């Protein structure tokens, strides 16, 4: 049998190889438009970051190797332009025409590129082939790209964002939809994912329709977004334009096939991204542009062609995504929203559960949303986010849905358990228990989406955490329920909120037993919901403390007005950022901006109710608030880069310090605040030695005294600004302990005594401004590499976290431990970073 296959990536190569294994007498030929076949399209983003350094490793088989292994003929760079079903022939762009007995179309899909101005610019890319990934990586590296815009917040867009961010590039993701991962996750889960992305330093702008690509970025309906490189990740469309006049039935460009992958025309089949499949749950036609679907349907097609009675059961749009280290997301089946649209009596539950035994090192949380049909209890879908193996939860749900399982069928599954791998009751099973309780009326709750939509309006928020957590809410201890609510009307609308949702359920159970009839538990608790209380009058102290940790300091003249600090990179911001801050100041504040001593900008006069809108406004535009609390503070530096005396590139160094220690350590609590300052030369314009850690640029002289002529008027002596250079017994003499390594004497000696210098950094530890001034003490060795400098700074922060006492400044820690001890620790010792970061540390900073 002469079988022609158009397309050679996933479906095409899978069906070809299986056909030959089924019957070696087949004559199978692949014709593909590309130079490559059988490449790992899903691995392309990871080549951009360098995680997969060798592009060739993404090519599973070369045409030659594939032919040798399978016996399939492979013809590359052959683009089909027309098929003739009557003559059973295919015409190619080079005018080659071939005939077939069976034709399999597996041409895949092509990226969607909008018809707008600027899409043909040299800095605009799509990602579909190995060559695309190589070109993006090369462009970023050769152009030293610092900012990127990803247009599209679906799976491929967010994967590209993660991998470009890993190269040290500032990334903005823009999408027309009002959420990330549209149609894949429900709005509440998408909102949780968006928050995690923002915390990881990704700027996310939703509701932004792309209008034009310019030389500086993109224009959207939400304003201009700057970026030196633009990646279009707007999805894909089936590569089927050449079939428009063929008579093959198409729907939205995809080939309509039956459950054996047959088209409407005799002897023509299709599989992969160019073809439709069916949904297991609805039976309706569906589009699943996934490598997994392509491989599965390719194998089924081959078996059906060789006589087996086999049918494709359909897909669930299952997908899993690594967003960042420590953040994964997965989904399968229907979202709650899509289930409702499909006519199901949809009901869901959202909960936060341990991903493994809570006491096991490295344990974390899963955020799970489980969707079922309320009347039949059939499982319809699951969405899960967390640092662990979310695919385990998704794949278990996939199996359940394929088997037509009800929630109760999950209850007693003998799933694997050991503390390093799971909880004793599997997280998905826990979710099914809770959803059963909800369906049966045992649990009365609001979902995070219902809370987002305002359904809890009119309910009194009751804080049932272990300790008061929600500012402005009524706190109730578990053992004081009867006493607290003895005089409360039994029909009072009470919204019970805890950390995750479990304790609020237990409280609700107790209150029901006491006769209360209108309580609601908030699913996911404060982990999944932004619980807000409207305050009448003065803001409670605990809420003042909470917003202060976000960089919002109360204006003592007013009960509800704050000044909000916006973080800069050592005082440097772009013109676009200036415009944003000005707009924020006008929109949310008093119209005035001040500058702090740590080079943050402070928006004055922000009313309490405007704090969160202001923060969200800034976050969407790549800016953040902060700079308070027991944390590493924003890094400040002098302008040594441009100063005539500058010895170090302070702008570049400060930005690296800012990124690694202010941003990278932003969740690490210290005994007190920790301030870092960088001076470009020993003039000490920003007083590095009055900070917890100060860095001063150095040029350590290596004097060639043998060349000294003992001149009566020594130019080195004359040029020394601090007068430590002298001529003693006819030779130049400079005490290295007194020299401040400013290099003003460089090149001054006509006999070349002062020509050679070693660049480096002097590090001061234990300085302090404020009520009790302390001058930092320099480490006993000048650091001569940036790599070692970053290591020393990190050691100092970790030493402070490990051995500092709550409430004491680093200067006090150094004095208590002794400088010699600290010096040795920072220059010579190793520090157990993981152990120190796992410690429980209480901060003592009050401002």
Residue-wise DSSP of 712-778: SS-HHHHH-TT--EEEETTEEEE-TTT-----TTTTT-TTSSS-EEEEEEEEEES-B-SSS-B--EE
Does the domain made of 541-620 have the CATH classification 3.40.47.10? no
Instruction: State pLDDT tens for residues 643-672.
Output: 888 998 898 899 899 989 998 898 899 999
Any idea which fold 446-528 has? Answer: Oxidized Rhodanese; domain 1 (3.40.250)
Quick one: pLDDT band at residue 408, thresholds 50, 70, 90? very high
Instruction: State pLDDT tens for residues 559-572.
Output: 899 999 999 888 88
Quick one: pLDDT band at residue 230, thresholds 50, 70, 90? very high
Answer yes or no: is pLDDT of 44 > 80.
yes
Any idea which fold 319-442 has? Answer: FAD/NAD(P)-binding domain (3.50.50)
Quick one: pLDDT band at residue 599, thresholds 50, 70, 90? confident
Which pLDDT belongs to residue 389? 93
Rounded average pLDDT over 454-483? 92
Instruction: State pLDDT tens for residues 746-772.
Output: 999 999 999 999 999 999 999 998 888
Which pLDDT belongs to residue 89? 97
Lowest mean pLDDT among 55-59, 374-378, 472-476, 604-608: 55-59
User: Please, what is the average pLDDT of the chain?
Assistant: 94
42 is catalytic: yes
Which pLDDT belongs to residue 791? 96
Of 42, 643, 685, 711, the active-site residue reads: 42
Same fold, 124-234 and 319-442: yes
Instruction: State pLDDT tens for residues 241-259.
Output: 999 999 999 999 999 999 9
Answer yes or no: is pLDDT of 326 > 90.
no
The class (CATH top level) of 705-754 is alpha beta
Which pLDDT belongs to residue 667? 84
Answer yes or no: is pLDDT of 201 > 90.
no
Supply 450's token pair: 């219902």
Any idea which fold 2-110+238-305 has? Answer: FAD/NAD(P)-binding domain (3.50.50)
Which pLDDT belongs to residue 799? 97
Which pLDDT belongs to residue 534? 81
Q: Which tops the pLDDT comparison, 643 or 783?
A: 783
Rounded average pLDDT over 780-793? 95
Rounded average pLDDT over 161-187? 94
Lowest mean pLDDT among 48-62, 73-87, 273-287, 821-835: 48-62
Rounded average pLDDT over 278-303? 95
- 572: DSSP letter: B
Rounded average pLDDT over 24-39? 90
Percent of the chain topping pLDDT 70: 100
Show Cβ contacts of residue 286 under 8 Å, excluding neighbours closer than 6 positions.
Answer: 276, 277, 278, 279, 314, 315, 317
Answer yes or no: is pLDDT of 788 > 80.
yes
* Nearest alpha-carbon partner for 692 in 774, 624, 756: 774
* Nearest alpha-carbon partner for 739 in 721, 755, 754, 756: 721
SS (H, E, C) 57-119: HHEEECHHHHHHHHCCEEECCCCEEEEECCCCEEEECCCCEEECCEEEECCCEEECCCCCECC
Q: Which tops the pLDDT comparison, 9 or 185?
A: 185
Quick one: pLDDT band at residue 641, thresholds 50, 70, 90? confident
Answer yes or no: is pLDDT of 198 > 90.
no
Quick one: pLDDT band at residue 407, thresholds 50, 70, 90? very high
Answer yes or no: is pLDDT of 200 > 90.
no
CATH of the domain spanning 631-699+759-847: 3.30.413.10
Rounded average pLDDT over 574-583? 90
Quick one: pLDDT band at residue 642, thresholds 50, 70, 90? confident
Which pLDDT belongs to residue 740? 93
Rounded average pLDDT over 700-728? 94
Lowest mean pLDDT among 26-30, 38-42, 209-213, 826-830: 38-42
Which pLDDT belongs to residue 533? 86
Instruction: State pLDDT tens for residues 502-536.
Output: 999 999 999 999 999 999 999 999 999 999 888 87
592 vs 586: CA distance, rounded Å: 8
- Domain residues of the chain, as ranges? 2-110+238-305, 124-234, 319-442, 446-528, 541-620, 631-699+759-847, 705-754
390 vs 409: CA distance, rounded Å: 21
* Nearest alpha-carbon partner for 761 in 725, 726, 791: 791
* Nearest alpha-carbon partner for 572 in 500, 637, 527: 637
Rounded average pLDDT over 822-831? 95
Backbone angles phi, psi at 344, to 5 degrees: -75, 155
- 706: DSSP letter: G
Polymer length of the chain: 847
Percent of the chain topping pLDDT 90: 82
CATH of the domain spanning 124-234: 3.50.50.60
């Amino acid at each position: 049998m002469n079988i022609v296959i158009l397309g050679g990536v996933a479906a095409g190569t899978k069906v070809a190889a299986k056909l030959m294994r089924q019957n070696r007498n087949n004559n199978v030929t692949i014709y593909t438009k590309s130079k490559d076949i059988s490449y790992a399209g899903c691995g392309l983003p990871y080549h951009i970051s360098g995680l997969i350094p060798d592009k060739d490793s993404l090519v599973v088989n070369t045409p030659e190797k594939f032919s040798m292994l399978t016996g399939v003929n492979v013809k590359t760079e052959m683009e089909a332009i027309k098929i003739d079903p009557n003559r059973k022939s295919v015409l190619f762009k080079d005018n080659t025409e071939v005939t077939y007995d069976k034709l399999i179309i597996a041409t895949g899909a092509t990226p969607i590129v909008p018809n707008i101005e600027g899409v043909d610019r040299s800095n605009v890319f799509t990602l579909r082939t190995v060559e695309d990934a190589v070109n993006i990586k090369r462009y970023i590296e050769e152009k030293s790209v610092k900012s990127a815009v990803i247009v599209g917040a679906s799976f491929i867009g967010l994967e590209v964002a993660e991998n470009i961010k890993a190269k040290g590039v500032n990334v903005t993701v823009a999408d027309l939809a009002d959420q990330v991962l549209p149609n894949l996750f429900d709005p509440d889960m998408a909102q949780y994912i968006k928050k995690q992305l923002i915390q990881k330093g990704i700027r996310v702008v939703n509701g932004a329709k792309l209008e034009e690509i310019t030389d500086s970025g993109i224009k959207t309906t939400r304003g201009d977004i700057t970026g030196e490189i633009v990646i279009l990740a707007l999805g894909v469309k089936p590569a089927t334009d050449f079939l428009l006049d063929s008579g093959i039935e198409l729907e939205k460009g995809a080939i309509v096939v039956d459950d054996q992958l047959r088209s409407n025309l005799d002897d023509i089949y299709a599989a992969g991204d160019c073809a439709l499949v069916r949904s297991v749950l609805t039976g309706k036609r569906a589009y699943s542009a996934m490598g997994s679907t392509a491989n599965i349907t390719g194998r089924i097609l081959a078996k059906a062609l060789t006589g087996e009675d086999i049918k494709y059961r359909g897909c669930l749009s299952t997908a899993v995504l690594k967003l960042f280290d420590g953040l994964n997301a997965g989904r399968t089946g229907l979202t709650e929203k899509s289930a409702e649209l499909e006519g199901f009596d949809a009901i869901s539950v959202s909960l936060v559960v341990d991903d493994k035994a809570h006491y096991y090192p490295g344990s974390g949380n899963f955020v799970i949303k489980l969707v079922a049909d309320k009347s039949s209890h059939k499982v319809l879908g699951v969405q899960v986010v967390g640092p662990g193996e979310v695919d385990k939860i998704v794949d278990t749900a996939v199996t359940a849905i394929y088997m037509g399982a009800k929630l109760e069928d999950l209850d007693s599954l003998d799933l694997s358990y050991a503390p390093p791998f799971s909880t004793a009751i599997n997280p998905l099973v826990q979710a099914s228990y809770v959803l059963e309780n909800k369906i049966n009326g045992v649990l009365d709750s609001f979902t995070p989406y219902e809370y987002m939509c305002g359904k809890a309006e009119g309910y009194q928020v009751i804080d049932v955490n272990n300790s008061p957590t929600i500012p402005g809410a009524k706190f109730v201890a578990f053992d004081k329920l009867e006493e607290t609510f003895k005089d409360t009307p039994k029909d009072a609308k009470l919204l019970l909120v805890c950390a995750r949702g479990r304790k609020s359920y237990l409280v609700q159970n107790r209150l029901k037993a006491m006769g209360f009839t209108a309580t609601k538990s908030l699913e996911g608790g404060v982990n999944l919901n932004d619980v807000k209380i409207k305050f009448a009058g003065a803001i409670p102290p605990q809420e003042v403390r909470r917003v202060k940790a976000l960089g919002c300091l109360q204006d003592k003249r007013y009960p509800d007005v704050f000044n909000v600090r916006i973080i800069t990179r050592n005082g440097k911001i772009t013109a676009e950022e200036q415009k944003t801050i000005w707009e924020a100041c006008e929109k949310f504040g008093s119209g005035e901006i001040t500058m702090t001593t740590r080079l943050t900008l402070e928006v004055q006069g922000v009313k309490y109710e405007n704090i969160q809108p202001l923060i969200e406004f800034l976050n969407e535009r790549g800016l953040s608030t902060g700079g308070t609390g027991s944390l590493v503070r924003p890094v400040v530096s002098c302008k040594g880069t441009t100063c005539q005396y500058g010895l170090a590139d302070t702008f570049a160094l400060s930005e690296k310090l800012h990124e690694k220690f202010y941003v990278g350590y932003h969740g690490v609590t210290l005994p007190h605040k920790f301030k870092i300052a960088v001076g470009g030369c020993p003039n000490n314009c920003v007083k590095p030695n009055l900070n917890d850690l100060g860095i001063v640029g150095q040029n350590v002289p290596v004097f060639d005294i043998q060349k000294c002529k003992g001149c009566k008027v020594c130019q080195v002596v004359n040029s020394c600004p601090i007068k430590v250079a002298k001529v003693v017994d006819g030779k130049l003499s400079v005490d290295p302990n007194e020299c401040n390594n400013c290099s003003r004497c460089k090149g001054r000696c006509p006999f070349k005594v002062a020509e050679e210098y070693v660049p480096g950094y002097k590090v001061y530890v234990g300085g302090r401004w404020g009520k009790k001034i302390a001058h930092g003490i320099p480490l006993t060795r000048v650091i001569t590499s940036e790599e070692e400098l970053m290591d020393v700074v990190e050691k100092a922060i970790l030493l402070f976290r490990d051995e500092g006492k709550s409430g004491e400044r680093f200067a006090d820690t150094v004095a208590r431990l002794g400088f010699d001890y600290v010096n040795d620790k920072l220059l010579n010792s190793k520090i157990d970073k993981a152990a120190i970061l796992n410690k429980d540390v209480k901060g003592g900073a009050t401002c």
